[in-house]
Structure 1
Amino acid sequence: MSANSSGVTTRQDTRIDALDRRFQEFRDRVPVLRQRADAEGVTRIRTRTDMIPLLFPHTTYKSYPESLVAKGQWPQLNRWLDSLSAHRVVDVDVSDADDVDGWIASLERAGHLVSSSSGTSGKGSFLNKSARDCEANLQNLLDCLTGIGLPPENTWHVIPVGPDTGQSQHVAVRQLIIDSYARPDALPLFEGAPPAGFHRYMARLSAMRRAMADGTGSPDDLAAFEAEAAGRAAEQERRLRHYAEQVLAHRTERILFSSQFPQLFRLCEILREMGASDGDITGANALTTGGGLKGTSLPADYQEQIFRLLNITPNRFLHYYSMQELNVRLPKCVEGRYHVPDEVVLFVLDKSGESPAPAVDGVMEGRAAFFDTTVDGRWGGTISGDRITVDTGTCPCGGAGETVLPDIVRYSDLADDDKITCAGTMDAYVRGITED
């Protein structure tokens, strides 16, 4: 193996040929990638450094003019999405779309499984995914669960705590876990009102925050939005209370929870309100979750509280690091580190996203960037908003290869802003293509 530009030799340095193959395959399929490669004079990937200017900042997927959503200009939004897609979007009929959820539904009927961020920090992002992307994501989840000793067996009660966004990828993951793990007499799932207009709601949330910040929001608009938000919160509370009752009714039987930590912590609060104490729930329960706290403030020992009450042990816990730009997950080992799978090439860049971060004794700290070789619907290279620390040596668990240490933070949460140098240039490429 050869040494990378930080002077550290890793098994992933052997992936250059794979990166070049993906570049040659996608260069003329993704318009913005072609323009970026031409501008940088990149014709082949010979080193990892050659790939860096071709990694798309995560903000690229929110580079559309917000007026397109506000004014319902769906054909123009199609053209924006097409510039970042490997499968053509411009001919998709969106004439019956009356809001952003209708636009996404029209695209899904044509095979474009658009993934959207919640936009909790502002403007939401849209990524085009294909059926192959969805299949890769679902298979990877089963592989990760099998890897910790939880192969697909229909011997569990399953509790998908939520929230239920209605997004196709979230629905597919939820259904996969139910189909692969739920026993024939599994506890009843929550049958509340289906989520309505998730993307429309999140777009309104972003717009309302901006209006409140600049003083343009009317009291009536704010009251209407607050009423809708309260209704959604009440529905989530009903969901959690339903599942709390089911946990108590099946307290000695195995339950597989699929949830983010904030929802699961609230479930535990409800259980305690109902009289449950540590040791009352004795089933050998398991949990799969990804991501952090999503801006929620929880006690420092929130995870320990959850595990004690629900009787979840580390060997029955799949925690992973991932993001919507990736199909696959970086699973967390018993030593608390996230392992980089073979399908992903990891880059650790300086804060600006321009150069590799320096290595000191095989350890690098900087901006996380990835190339996911399984991505099909768009270009697989992404520069994230996360600051990570990576160890290129052998993990204390015995696993080889790079590992990401658990102290992952968003640059936007630090005192410094989350500014990637090439982000403005990438946005200009998108504008140039969509306005031609």
Structure 2
Amino acid sequence: MSLTRNKNDVISALDARFQERRHQVPVLRQRAEAEGITEIRSREDMVPLLFPHTTYKSYPESLIAKGRWSSMNRWIDSVSTHRVTDVDVSGVTDVDEWIEALEAAGHLVSSSSGTSGKGSFLNKSVRDREANMQNMIDGLTELGMPPERRWHVIPVGPDTGQSAHVAMRDLIIDNYRRPDGIPLFEGNPPVGHHRYMARLQAMRRAMADGTAAPDEVSAFEAEAQGRAAEQERRLHHWADHILARPTEPIFFNAQFTQLFRLVEILREKGAREGTISGGNALTVGGGLKGSTLPADYQEQIFAMLDIAPERFFHYYSMQELNLRMPRCLGGRYHVPDEIVLFVLDKDGEKLADVVDGRIEGRAAFFDLTVDGRWGGTISGDRIVVELDGCPCGRSGETILPDIARYSDLGNDDKITCAGTMDAYVRGFIEE
């Protein structure tokens, strides 16, 4: 539901969801009571109820370090719609096993890797995953790529083993891969993704402050090199099969970092622009994850892999949302009806002002399809929204492509209410 849609319809939808969720999500109930909000009568009423993205990493790190999994249950329960406190964690020894226990009980936790700091955990239901996966199919269909099993499918990787990633990979394979498709890479399945990422984070800290023992550093570097070698074998597998059938259509499901390395390997094997000519397609998840690539990395990828803009499903989203905002050929992102877009000031305290038909500020959203949590979130992104339609011909507001993280702009990415929300959550853990 966009900024320019019928105001009464938007407010009614938000209020209906608020009346339902305030009785289900403990932190939302406490926040609403503290703000004296019992009804949504305007967009302004929603702003104090939008959860900062940091809410989903508000647990004390000591809970994980000390293996206090029952307390972690209470933490995630405080920001969940469906109760978590009765999930059996008696045999859990690390984060991966905690997530497995939750998933066995129907809580399909979405998690960040925490490479740049503390990881986040979002409780998602089966309905959330179904909405997310159907939205992928709908977006591809709107692009002109309905489910047809006529493609070779290449999930470039790396394989994290996380169930959400596996489910999305399998969705694309099941709906698009031809019966005689390129064989999938048969490598060593990943084990303990979060365990590894936690060790990576701890090792980086220890090396930075000089407390890492030489044998610990050597052992960890050996494991990291093994994982990197596995990914190289994966990419060489794909490159060999691409070159064996260069004119047959391929659907890539990947991240740009891995795709660029695939292009380098293809060049090493003798491929040039025009060698691959199958009219290939691409959908990309995630950003560069801290990697540094040439300024024209996308152009190089598209030219080598024969991917035209009309076969590139590019979108703006985040793990707090079920739905995607697809990018049109005009280069802008369109907000689907089920998402209410808010543009806030930098501190996340109030709605930003409209200036000459544009709004610039902090992106915030309410996803009406979210089931496992409260659907309102304040992101770490600075966006610019155009209210007067799009060059592609569609009406309504659009998000311009120059999206940036406040933390990357040399600014302190501080949302005013974040500390208050963290205090609410800590209170539930201590009860």
TM-score range, shorter chain: over 0.9
SS of aligned partner of 2:271: coil
Contact 1:290/1:321 (8 A) holds in 2: no
Whether 1:278 and 2:273 are equivalent positions in the alignment is yes
Stretches of structure 1 that go unaligned for 5 or more consecutive residues are none
Aligned residues: 430
Whether 1:10 and 2:4 are equivalent positions in the alignment is yes
Counterpart of 2:287? 292
Whether 1:202 and 2:192 are equivalent positions in the alignment is no
Deviations 1:335-383 (A, max 9, x none): 1111101110111111100011111111111111110000000111110
How far residue 110 of structure 1 moved from its aligned partner, in angstroms, is 0.4
SS of aligned partner of 1:19: helix
Whether 1:341 and 2:333 are equivalent positions in the alignment is no
Aligned residue identity for 1:169: A
Whether 1:325 and 2:320 are equivalent positions in the alignment is yes
Whether 1:103 and 2:87 are equivalent positions in the alignment is no
Counterpart of 1:237? 232
Bigger Cα displacement from structure 2, 132-141 vs 210-219: 210-219
Aligned residue identity for 2:256: F
Please point out which of 275, 278, 301 is paired with 2:296.
301
Counterpart of 1:26? 21
How far residue 434 of structure 1 moved from its aligned partner, in angstroms, is 1.2
Counterpart of 2:352? 357
Q: Write the distance in 1 (CA, Å) between the matches of 2:426 and 2:43.
A: 28
Aligned residue identity for 1:69: I
Please point out which of 130, 133, 140 is paired with 1:138.
133
Please point out which of 369, 378, 389 is paired with 2:373.
378
Aligned residue identity for 1:200: R
How far residue 70 of structure 1 moved from its aligned partner, in angstroms, is 1.4
How far residue 96 of structure 1 moved from its aligned partner, in angstroms, is 1.7
Q: Write the distance in 2 (CA, Å) between the matches of 1:145 and 1:191.
A: 27
How far residue 153 of structure 1 moved from its aligned partner, in angstroms, is 0.4
Deviations 1:293-340 (A, max 9, x none): 221111111111011100000111100111100000010000111110
Stretches of structure 2 that go unaligned for 5 or more consecutive residues are none
Aligned residue identity for 2:80: S
Counterpart of 2:421? 426
Q: Write the distance in 2 (CA, Å) between the matches of 1:20 and 1:220.
A: 58
Deviations 1:184-222 (A, max 9, x none): 111101010111100111122222333344444333333
Contact 1:164/1:195 (8 A) holds in 2: yes
Q: Write the distance in 2 (CA, Å) between the matches of 1:87 and 1:350.
A: 32
Aligned residue identity for 1:123: K
Aligned residue identity for 1:76: S
Counterpart of 1:169? 164
TM-score, with structure 1 as normaliser: 0.96
Counterpart of 2:390? 395
Aligned residue identity for 1:416: N
Please point out which of 29, 32, 38 is paired with 2:33.
38
Counterpart of 2:215? 220
Aligned residue identity for 2:100: A
Identity rate of aligned residues, in percent?
A: 73
SS of aligned partner of 2:314: strand
Cα pair distance change 1:349/1:278, threshold 3 Å: same
Q: Write the distance in 1 (CA, Å) between the matches of 2:163 and 2:205.
A: 28
Contact 1:12/1:345 (8 A) holds in 2: no
SS of aligned partner of 1:11: coil
Q: Write the distance in 2 (CA, Å) between the matches of 1:97 and 1:366.
A: 42
Aligned residue identity for 2:4: T
Aligned residue identity for 1:164: D
Aligned residue identity for 2:123: N
Contact 1:60/1:427 (8 A) holds in 2: yes
Aligned residue identity for 1:10: T
How far residue 291 of structure 1 moved from its aligned partner, in angstroms, is 3.2
How far residue 12 of structure 1 moved from its aligned partner, in angstroms, is 6.3
How far residue 419 of structure 1 moved from its aligned partner, in angstroms, is 0.5
Aligned residue identity for 2:204: R
SS of aligned partner of 2:85: coil
Whether 1:112 and 2:110 are equivalent positions in the alignment is no
Whether 1:155 and 2:122 are equivalent positions in the alignment is no
